[in-house]
Amino acid sequence: MCGIVGYIGKREAAPLLLNGLRRLEYRGYDSAGIAVLNGALSVVKQKGSVGDLENALQESGERLSGATIGIAHTRWATHGDPSDRNAHPHLNNAGDIALIHNGIIENHAALRLELSSHGYTFNSATDTEVLVHLIDRMWKDEPSLNLEGAVRRALRHVEGAYGLCVISSREPGTLVVARKGSPLVLGLGDGEYFVASDAAPIVEHTRKVVYLGDGEMAVVTAEGYTVKTVENIETEKLITELDFELGEIEKGGFEHFMLKEIFEQPDVMHDVMRGRVRLEEGRVRLGGIEDYLDRLKQARRIVICACGTSWHAGLIGEYLIEEFARIPVEVDYASEFRYRNPIVGTDDVVIVISQSGETADTLAALRAAKEKGALVMGICNVVGSTIARETLCGMYTHAGPEVGVASTKAFTAQVIVLYMLALALSKGRTISHDEIALNLRELTRVPEKAARILELDSQIKSIAEIFKDAKNFLYLGRGYNFPVALEGALKLKEISYIHAEGYPAAEMKHGPIALIDEDMPVIFIATRDSTYTKILSNIEEVRSRKGRVIAIANDGDQEISSLAEHVIYIPQATGPIMPLLTVIPLQLLAYHIATFRGCNVDRPRNLAKSVTVE
Ligand code: M6R
């Protein structure tokens, strides 16, 4: 969370930094700020969005012009409320060092006390401000140090996570960055360099990037950069080519990124399978795990760890792997796994799933699993992300950049990856070649079916309008559609702020049924699979308590139209395929309800796209 961007080169820094902030705003958006160095430091920062900052800059623009080095930040508050004074950059008391930070300084209280006792005064309630004073203190204690040395020394006293970027008028041509836990990327241009929390602000300037590793620091000037560890040991860094286009992080005519990303799903589904699904051979080829496939097949147990939407994909993965590959699977919240001393050993496989590849809890779960000797595999969307780099093997979801905070296309891509994985794990063991081929054929039909569902957008929009003022929603599904019920509820609550619960439909009578009355919309995912008749009974139970039923059903299902107030008909498919289809109307429903309520769907309150703090 929080977006960091820095620039050093020949061009005017302020417009580049602002543009960079716009691209990073999905990481945090409660306040924003910028500092440039033009002889002295000039800082403009305030509560609100990057747009608000731009307006403020129009007044103070003169002060920022002419500078070719600067840093900027868009914040997701952890310590201290969203306010002007808590916005980054933060300055030392002399006003000659400016710092931006993403992460949490866990020992900030102790450091604050100590610095206060040395006469430092604090202007914010943030944990970050201690860092800038600490750097100042180190520099004062040893004036022969340069900025790099002062930062390095300060970081020795810091516990917690950071991605940070520092400039100082005492050393005007240098930008110092450091990373522990929170991601940072260096963009290598022609006589200019960029620093950012992810590649989104960089790709329009250069495709060459260097990902900083944990515990690494970079010193960047207009002439070049060096990367060392915080302990001052030189490290060799690979230069990576970015693999996405600028257009992929723009709205492309859609009103919101979320809508664009929902509509991208048929193409994304093709992309995930491209080169991997070999229909003619009736097999999947998964390059990223090929060398480990035998070990994966021999796993005593697979544990899937993830958070949020990725965790829901993991639940579907459990159903798929157990059904096809007959390997026992457990799905754990990464945050629980990391702290509960799980029983995991060398014959277990731990699969971590993460769109961003930077989620702090998932990363910690990965590291805990590694420590216990498990084979750790990753399923990530962001290429080069920390999780992708730290796992032994893995598969990218190839969904392209997902900017909307509510995850949509990444989810369907994750499910397809898990589907392919389940089939790869089954090969030669549990299901026949023909069954694998049949499943692959079904998979390749999904993009076209998804496209047909997207044509229902206006019907779904009119249903959204009817229910936009509901206070609660219940989502029910069984089997493969149970995780979809959870995901549908999550989508609705995170972007519309309506309270929503997802449940396995059969669980309804064990409690949630008490909630049902004429004001409770209940979404049933009632596709024709082995539990269909059971779910019809559940619908009857809701109807007899006057609940308002909206059903997702398969084309041609007449029976359900007499039971539900609204039916969204989607194409027929097998049970395991179904989540890839049933989730789409739920994404659209959440989207339209949220827009009818005037919510900012791409940047819902209190959320951020990449959760890099615990
Ligand atoms: O990047 P990750 O997949 O690791 O993120 C996990 C969750 O933070 C994420 O899925 C979150 O729940 C989304 N806002 C859901 O739409």
Average pLDDT of the residues in 363-375: 96
Place of tokens 């100082």: 168
Give the pLDDT mean for 243-272: 89
Round the CA-based radius of gyration of the chain to a whole number and report it.
25
Backbone φ, ψ for residue 577 (5° rounding): -80, -25
CB 131 within 8 A of CB 115: no
What is the spatial distance between Cα 38 and Cα 2, in angstroms, rounded to a whole number? 25
Cα distance between residue 577 and residue 207, in whole Å: 37
Q: Once rounded to an integer, what is the mean pLDDT over residues 481-497?
A: 98
Neighbouring CB atoms inside 10 A of 478's CB total 24
Q: What separation in Å is there between the alpha carbon of 407 and the centre of ligand 1? A: 6
- What CA–CA distance (Å, rounded) separates 268 from 472? 32
The Å distance, Cα 409 to ligand 1 centre, comes to 12
Cis previous bond, 82, omega within 30: no
Mean pLDDT score across all residues of the chain: 94
Q: How far is the CA of 310 from the centre of ligand 1 (A)?
A: 6
Of 7, 11, 13, 34, whose CA–CA distance to 194 is shortest?
Answer: 7
Distance, C-alpha 564 to centroid of its chain: 35
Pick the closest to residue 303 from 335, 284, 339, 327 (CA basis). 327
Q: Which of 2, 305, 307, 393 is catalytic?
A: 2
User: β-strand 3-8 against 31-38: which pairing, if any?
Assistant: unpaired
Task: Look at ligand 1, atom 11, and give the residue with the nearest C-alpha.
Answer: 308
Distance, in Å, from the CA atom of 236 to the CA atom of 144, rounded to the nearest integer, reads 27
Ligand 1: which of 311, 337, 356, 407 to mutate, judged by most atoms within 8 Å of the beta carbon? 407
Residue with the two structure tokens 């989104």: 200
Q: Is 220 left (phi over 0), alpha (psi -120 to 50) or beta?
A: beta
pTM value is 0.84
Is pLDDT at 319 greater than 90 in this prediction?
yes
Is residue 341 within 8 A of residue 285, CB to CB? The reply is: no
Q: What is the pLDDT of residue 380?
A: 95
CA distance 294 to 297: 5
Lowest pLDDT segment from 178-192, 204-218, 284-298, 599-613: 599-613
Ligand 1 center–CA 609 separation, angstroms: 7
Atom of ligand 1 nearest to the CA of 387: 4
CB contact at 8 A, 499 and 474: no
Q: Is 37 left (phi over 0), alpha (psi -120 to 50) or beta?
A: beta
Residue 61, pLDDT above cutoff 80: no
CB–CB of 536/526 below 8 Å? yes
**pLDDT-based confidence at 78, cuts 50/70/90?**
confident
Tell me the pLDDT band of 159, cut-offs 50, 70 and 90.
very high
pLDDT in tens, 539-593: 999 999 999 999 999 999 999 999 999 999 999 999 999 999 999 999 999 999 9
Atom of ligand 1 nearest to the CA of 406: 16
What's the pLDDT at 60?
Answer: 67
Cα atoms found within 13 Å of the Cα of residue 485, Cβ hemisphere only = 26
| 88-100: average pLDDT | 97
pLDDT > 70 in the chain, percent: 100
List 211's β-bridge partners, or say none.
Answer: 185
Q: Which residues line ligand 1 (CB under 6 A)?
A: 307-310, 354-356, 359, 362, 405-407, 490, 494, 607, 610-611
Q: Measured from the CA of 306, which atom of ligand 1 is nearest?
A: 4
Residue 25: is its pLDDT beyond 80? Answer: yes
| Mean pLDDT (whole number) for 483-503 | 97
CA 474 to chain centre: 25
- Give the model confidence (pLDDT) of 382-432 as tens digits: 888 899 999 999 999 999 889 999 999 999 999 999 999 999 999 999 999
Ligand 1, pocket-test mutation among 258, 356, 362, most atoms within 8 A of CB? 356
Helix, strand or coil, per DSSP, at residue 36: strand
Question: Where residue 62 falls among pLDDT bands split at 50, 70, 90?
Answer: low
- Residue 610 CA to ligand 1 centre (angstroms): 7
**Nearest-CA residue for atom 8 of ligand 1:** 308
Q: Is 380 a catalytic residue?
A: no
| Tokens 């429903």 -> residue | 589
> Which atom of ligand 1 approaches the CA of 307 most closely?
6
- The confidence score (pLDDT) of residue 157 equals 96
* Cα–Cα distance for residue pair 351/355, rounded to 1 Å: 13
Catalytic residue among 47, 491, 493, 609: 609
- Token duo for residue 446: 């999904």
- The CA 355 to ligand 1 mean position distance, Å, reads 7
Q: Look at ligand 1, atom 14, and give the residue with the nearest C-alpha.
A: 406
